[in-house]
Amino acid sequence: MDILNKFKVLSSYSGLELVEDIDCQLNPNTRKNSISRAVLPNGKIIKLAKTLLTSACERNCYYCPFRAGRNYQRETLSPTQLANLVYSMHQSGKVEGIFISSGIAGGGQRTQDLIIETAELLRYSHGYQGYLHLKIMPGADYDQVLRMMQLANRVSINLEGPNQVTLSKLAPHKSFYSELIIPLQWIETIRNTLPNHMGWNSRWPSSSTQFVVGGADETDLELLDRSESLYTQYKLSRVYYSAFNPIKDTPLENHPPVNPTRQLRLYQANFMIRDYGFRYEELPFNKDGYLPIDHDPKTLWAQMNLMDTPVEINTANKQELLRIPGIGIKTAQRLLKARRIHKISSIEDLRKQGLQSNRFFPYILLDGKKLPRQLSLV
Task: Convert residues 156-195 into a mask of x (bound to ligand SF4 by CB under 6 A) and - (unbound).
Answer: ---------------x------------------------
Beta carbon of residue 89, minimum distance to ligand SF4 (angstroms, whole number): 23
User: Under DSSP, is residue 91 helix (H, G, I), strand (E, B) or coil?
Assistant: helix
Beta carbon of residue 264, minimum distance to ligand SF4 (angstroms, whole number): 24
Q: Give the neighbor-by-neighbor strand order of the sheet with 35-39.
A: 35-39, 45-52, 97-101, 131-135, 154-156, 206-213, 238-243
Binding part of the chain for ligand SF4, among 60-68, 81-89, 241-249, 324-332 by CB under 6 A, reads 60-68
Alpha-carbon distance of 323 to 376, in angstroms, equals 18
For position 57 contacting ligand SF4 by CB under 6 A, the verdict is yes
Binding part of the chain for ligand SF4, among 53-61, 219-227, 321-329, 348-356 by CB under 6 A, reads 53-61
Nearer to ligand SF4, 34 or 189 (CB): 34
For position 154 contacting ligand SF4 by CB under 6 A, the verdict is no
For position 140 contacting ligand SF4 by CB under 6 A, the verdict is no
For position 66 contacting ligand SF4 by CB under 6 A, the verdict is yes
Binding part of the chain for ligand SF4, among 55-63, 298-306, 312-320, 354-362 by CB under 6 A, reads 55-63
Nearer to ligand SF4, 104 or 322 (CB): 104
The only residue of 35, 82, 104, 273 in contact with ligand SF4, by rule CB under 6 A: 104
Binding part of the chain for ligand SF4, among 21-29, 54-62, 246-254, 367-375 by CB under 6 A, reads 54-62
Alpha-carbon distance of 81 to 137, in angstroms, equals 20
Binding part of the chain for ligand SF4, among 56-64, 113-121, 211-219, 282-290 by CB under 6 A, reads 56-64
**CB of 136 closer than 8 Å to CB of 172:** no
Cα radius of gyration rounded to whole Å, the chain? 23
For position 108 contacting ligand SF4 by CB under 6 A, the verdict is no
Question: CA geometry: angle at 66 spanning 145 and 12, to 5°?
Answer: 85
For position 61 contacting ligand SF4 by CB under 6 A, the verdict is yes
**CB of 276 closer than 8 Å to CB of 322:** yes
What H or E segment, with its residue span, contains residue 237? none
Q: How far is CA 266 from CA 50, 180, 212, 325, in A?
A: 24, 22, 12, 16
The only residue of 6, 31, 67, 298 in contact with ligand SF4, by rule CB under 6 A: 67
Nearer to ligand SF4, 61 or 121 (CB): 61
Exposure letters 205-232 (e unless 16+ CB within 10 A, then b): bbbbbbbbbbbbebbbbbbbbbbbebbe
**CB of 230 closer than 8 Å to CB of 181:** no
Site for ligand SF4 in 321-350 (CB under 6 A): none
First and final CA of the chain: distance in angstroms? 60
Question: CA geometry: angle at 301 spanning 297 and 304, to 5°?
Answer: 140
The only residue of 6, 16, 83, 103 in contact with ligand SF4, by rule CB under 6 A: 103
For position 280 contacting ligand SF4 by CB under 6 A, the verdict is no
Beta carbon of residue 180, minimum distance to ligand SF4 (angstroms, whole number): 11
Nearer to ligand SF4, 242 or 331 (CB): 242
Query: Which residues does 202 contact at the CB level (< 8 Å), separation at least 6?
Result: 196
Number of residues engaging ligand SF4 in binding (CB under 6 A):
9
3-state helix, strand, coil in the chain (%, to 5): 45, 15, 45
Site residues, ligand SF4 (CB under 6 A): 57, 59, 61, 64, 66-67, 103-104, 171
